[in-house]
Amino acid sequence: MRVLLVEDETSIASFIAEGLEEEGFAVDVAHNGKEGLRLALENLAEYDLILLDWMLPGASGIEICRAIRKEDQTVPVIFLTAKDTVDDVVFGLETGANDYLRKPFAFEELLARMRVLLRSSTGEQNTFHYADIELDLVKHQVFKAGAPLDLTQKEFALLELLLRNKGKACRRTRIIEKVWDIHFDHDTAVIDVYINFLRKKLDTPGQPSFIQTLRGIGYRVNDDA
């Protein structure tokens, strides 16, 4: 996870940067608005999240935020600021920011809010389940009726895709792109084989499979359990 922090007060900047680095984030720091703007626009695709000070020499946080939103509507942006009137909050959020922290704030609160935004921007979530099947991303393990089960990497990735999209149809092209990273047209039966693996390991005997086949389309794990 890579974060851009734009903050002119060096003491605050290094406090945040160090804290985040301890948490495993890669942090780029800009100490004024101009530099922040440059970094943001140059490497926009690189950043998973952007922290912006409101008052900055060079270019204000609002200007940077607007410039970012022109290019990318999805990267989460959090304002860090001493300003605290309601109008400013509203203005900040309307500008395209996703959240807003009033200084002084506790580092833990910043972390928690970052995690929420990262979770939702990447659709990140720790566990997925269907009926008695549970997939845990953190432990990188799957459970069937509470019992741990060993899946191979590909099996795990395929199951993750299906469960992340519970209720939605997963098209074959999407599956082959996401799990196998094959982007050109390719007629292969690997998907079928792996669906078969998952069914063998995870279906309850005597029951219909937890994976629906959508003939000509792909597969779907139903919504209702």
* Site of interaction with a second copy (CB under 8 A): 73-74, 86-87, 89-90, 93-94, 97-99, 105-106, 108-109, 111-113, 115-116, 120-121, 125, 138-141, 152-153, 167-169, 214-217, 220, 223
User: From the CB of 225, what's the least distance to a second copy, in Å?
Assistant: 11
**CA atoms of 164 and 117, how far apart (whole Å):** 17
User: From the CB of 153, what's the least distance to a second copy, in Å?
Assistant: 4
Pick one of a second copy, DNA, none as the site partner of residue 225 (Cβ within 5 to 8 A by kind).
Answer: none
Give yes or no for a contact between 49 and 117, defined as CB atoms under 8 angstroms apart: yes
**CA atoms of 80 and 161, how far apart (whole Å):** 35
Pick one of a second copy, DNA, none as the site partner of residue 93 (Cβ within 5 to 8 A by kind).
Answer: a second copy
**CA atoms of 69 and 7, how far apart (whole Å):** 19
Give yes or no for a contact between 58 and 31, defined as CB atoms under 8 angstroms apart: no
25 lies in the site for DNA, by CB under 7 A: no
172 lies in the site for DNA, by CB under 7 A: yes
Pick one of a second copy, DNA, none as the site partner of residue 57 (Cβ within 5 to 8 A by kind).
Answer: none
Binding string, residues 122-161; x marks residues near DNA by CB under 7 A: ----------------------------x-xxxx------
Of 17-25, 60-68, 92-100, 214-222, which segment contacts DNA by CB under 7 A? 214-222
Tokens of residue 118, six digits = 């990262």
Which residue lies nearer to a second copy by CB, 42 or 94? 94
Q: Give the strand pairing for 211-214 and 133-136.
A: unpaired
Strand stretches in 11-144, DSSP E: 26-30, 49-53, 77-81, 99-102, 127-130, 133-136, 141-144
| Residue partners of 186: CB distance under 8 A and separation at least 6 | 176
Query: How many CA atoms lie less than 13 Å away from 150 in the CB half-sphere?
Result: 0
Of 25-33, 76-84, 90-98, 190-198, which segment contacts DNA by CB under 7 A? 190-198
User: From the CB of 57, what's the least distance to a second copy, in Å?
Assistant: 27
Tokens of residue 3, six digits = 């974060």
User: From the CB of 154, what's the least distance to DNA, in Å?
Assistant: 4
